[in-house]
Amino acid sequence: MENSNLLELQKARKSNLKNLINDSYDGSVEAFAALVGKHKNFIYSLLWDVENPNNRNITDKMSRLFEKILNLEAGYLDRLVGSSSIGDYTYIKFLDIKDSIGTEKLSISDETSFPIIVNDLFKRNLVADDLIAVRVFDNSMIPFCDFDDVVIIDRSFREHQEQQYYLIRYNLKFFIRRLDFGSEGYVFNIENSHSAHLNTINTETDKDKLDIIGIIVFRFQSSNKFMR
C-alpha cells in the first residue's frame, strides 16, 4: 500500500467520524468523548484535517474500538466518502513475536491487525489468509527496514529466491534476513553491517535449526504508518 493510500484512508476515517458525531450526537464532541471514554481534546485532535501538524491519526486499533463501542460493523470508519481508487480493505493479523519466541508455534494476535487494500493483493496474486503482519523488532536490516516498521509476510512462499527478504526462525528466535547466493550456497544475510545481531545463516549447514516462515511482500515505514 502506498503512502498516498494511507493518507487517503486517514482522510476517510476523519470524515466518517465527523459525520458520525454530527449525525448521531448533534455535533457534540464532548458527548461522543464521554461515550468512548476519551478526553474531548483527544477527540478534537482526531478530527483535525491531516494537513494540521497537530492532528492525530485514527489508528486501526482505535477505529475498531470506536466501532465496537458504538455497535458498528468492523470497517465502518474506513468506508470511502464518494469515489476513490483506494478500494476495500482487508485486515492482516499480527504475529506476536514475544509469545512465539522459544516455541515451534506461531502466536497470531486476535486483537491487532493491519489494513491492506484488497486490490493490492489481487494485483500481486496474494491471498489474505496466507499473510501475517510483523512489527520489525531490531535494526539489523537498515536500510531495507528499521525498528518498528511493519512488514507483511506471505507464509505460502518459502522457496529460495535470491535477493529477496524473508522472516525466518533460527534456534527458535526470529530474524528478518535477505537471501543471497554465493560460493557457500544460499545464505541469509543482514543489511546493517554495524548490527551486533547474528550475521549469516546458511540454508544447508544450518537447516536443522532453520525454519523459513515466509517472504516479505509489503513493508511500511513507521514514520508513515497510521498504526501505533
3-class SS string, 150-213: EEEEECCCCCCCCCCEEEEEECCEEEEEEEEEECCEEEEECCCCCCCCCCCEECCCCHHHEEEE
List pLDDT tens digits, range 27-78: 899 999 999 999 999 999 999 998 899 999 999 999 999 988 887 878 888 8
The CATH number, out of the four listed (2.40.128.20, 2.10.109.10, 3.40.50.300, 3.40.50.261), of the domain defined by the range 89-220 = 2.10.109.10
**Which residues, listed in sequence order, are joined to residue 219 by a DSSP beta bridge?**
151
Give the residue extent of every domain in the chain: 3-78, 89-220
**Which residues, listed in sequence order, are joined to residue 80 by a DSSP beta bridge?**
none
List pLDDT tens digits, range 136-189: 999 999 999 999 999 999 999 999 999 999 999 999 999 999 999 988 899 999
Beta strands at 173-182 and 150-154: parallel, antiparallel or unpaired: unpaired
Q: Tell me the residue ranges of DSSP E strands in the chain.
A: 89-95, 108-117, 131-135, 150-154, 165-170, 173-182, 185-189, 201-202, 210-220
Greatest CA separation for the chain: 70
Confidence bin at 79 (pLDDT 50/70/90): confident
* Contacts (Cβ under 8 Å, ≥6 apart) of 13: 58, 63, 77, 78
Dist CA 165 CA 184 (whole Å): 19
**Which residues, listed in sequence order, are joined to residue 177 by a DSSP beta bridge?**
166
CATH topology of domain 3-78: 434 Repressor (Amino-terminal Domain) (1.10.260)
Beta strands at 131-135 and 108-117: parallel, antiparallel or unpaired: unpaired
* Contacts (Cβ under 8 Å, ≥6 apart) of 170: 198, 201, 206, 209, 210, 211
Rounded to 5°, angle at Cα 62 from 123 and 138: 65
* pTM exceeding the 0.85 threshold for the entire prediction: no
